[in-house]
Amino acid sequence: MPESVSSSNDAPSSSTRHGQWIFTAIMLLSFAAFLLSLSAAGRCNFANRWLQFRDSYTVEDLCTSGSFVSQFEIETCFTIFRGHSVGFDHWSVTTDNGQVCLAYVLQVPLQGWVAPEFDNLFKSAYGFAILACVFGAFGLFTILCATCCPLAEERVRGMAGYFFLATICQGLAFLIFPSNVCQTQFFEQYYPSIDVDPFVRGVKCDLGHGAKMAITAAVLYFVCMLLCPLASPIMPFGYKRLPCQDNAGPMHVEELTEKAIGDAPKRAQEEAEAAADEPA
C-alpha cells in the first residue's frame, strides 16, 4: 500500500497563495479604476477652461461693450465667457448657486437652439473615453467571473491585454485638450455676430476633476496589467482543490464526491488483488 501523504500537501503552495492575494488586489484595483474611468467620462468638468483677455480687458468689458443688449444676453455672456469647465457630454459654469452642468445644445435669443460643431480630436477623445470604460469592464467582468467559475491561469495572464487597451484608451481621452473646445472660437458659435477678438487673445485649458480621475484610472489599469502575470485565480465558491495536487485545477464538491464514489470499487479490487498476492 502506498504511504499516505501529509495533509500539508492538501493546501495550496506558498506561491499559489501569494498569487491569489495578487489576484484579489487586481480585483479591487480594477473595480476602482472602472468606477473612476466611468465617472471621468461622464463629468462636466473634465477640463477647466479659462479665457485669456488682452491687456487689461475683463469679462465685464466684453459683456457690457454694447454687443449684448438685453439683460438676459448679458447674463448669458457672463455664463459663457467666464471661467468654466468642459466635458464630453456637458459643460459647467459657476453661478451664485454653485456649479451647474449644461448641455452643449443651448437656446440662444434670436437664433433658437444652437448645437456647436466638434472637431475630430474631440470626437476621438470622447470615443477613447468610452472604450476605456468598455475594456476596463471586460477585465473586471472576467475577474468577477472567477468567484463562481474556474478560471485558468492563462486566462488571468490574458486579462493584461484588456487592461493594456484600457490604459491606452484612457490616455488618448486627453485629446480633448488640443481639440476645438479649448480654442477661442468654440463658444463663439453661440454668438457668431459678436467679435470677441479685440477682447480675448486665447484660451487655456488645464486639468479638471474628470481629467484627474482619468489619470488615476489609467495608473490603476497599468498596475493591473503588470500584476496579471503574477496572479493565480482564486478558488470559486463551492469548489475545492484536489488533495495532494497543487497544480490541479479546482473541482466542484459534487465532482469530488462522484470521483470518490466512482473510484471506490476500483480501489477495493486493487486492495483484494494485493492481499491475494501476499504470501500466507
Same domain? For 260 and 140 the reply is no
Instruction: Tell me whether residue 5 is in a domain.
Output: no
Instruction: Tell me whether residue 46 is in a domain.
Output: yes
Look up the pTM and report it: 0.72
By the 8 A CB rule, do 136 and 30 touch? yes
Same domain? For 48 and 185 the reply is yes
Q: Tell me the pLDDT tens digit for each residue of 226-262.
A: 998 888 777 766 555 544 444 445 544 455 445 545 5
Nearest to 38, CA basis, from 189, 207, 169: 169
The total number of structural domains that make up the chain: 2
Same domain? For 220 and 254 the reply is no
Same domain? For 66 and 92 the reply is yes
Question: For 52-89, b where at least 16 C-beta lie within 10 A, e where not — what string?
Answer: ebeeebebeebbeeebbeeeebeebbbbbbbebbbbbe
Same domain? For 225 and 256 the reply is no
The set of cell numbers assigned to 260 is 470518490
Predicted confidence at residue 253, as pLDDT, reads: 45
Dihedral of CA atoms 75, 77, 81, 85 in degrees, nearest 10, equals: 60
For 151, counting Cβ atoms within 10 Å of its Cβ (0-12 exposed, 13-18 middle, 19+ buried), the class is: buried
Predicted confidence at residue 150, as pLDDT, reads: 72
Same domain? For 121 and 27 the reply is yes
Instruction: Tell me whether residue 268 is in a domain.
Output: yes
Beta bridge partners of 280: none
Instruction: Tell me whether residue 6 is in a domain.
Output: no
- CATH number for the domain spanning 112: value is 1.20.140.150
Predicted confidence at residue 23, as pLDDT, reads: 85
Instruction: Provide the domain limits for residue 256.
Output: 238-277
Instruction: Tell me whether residue 103 is in a domain.
Output: yes
Predicted confidence at residue 121, as pLDDT, reads: 93
Predicted confidence at residue 144, as pLDDT, reads: 84
Instruction: Tell me whether residue 139 is in a domain.
Output: yes
Same domain? For 217 and 246 the reply is no
Same domain? For 22 and 59 the reply is yes
Residue with cell 451664485: 96
By the 8 A CB rule, do 57 and 65 touch? no
Residues in the chain where the model's pLDDT stays below 70: 1-15, 62, 65-70, 72-73, 76, 80, 96, 98, 108-111, 191-198, 236-280
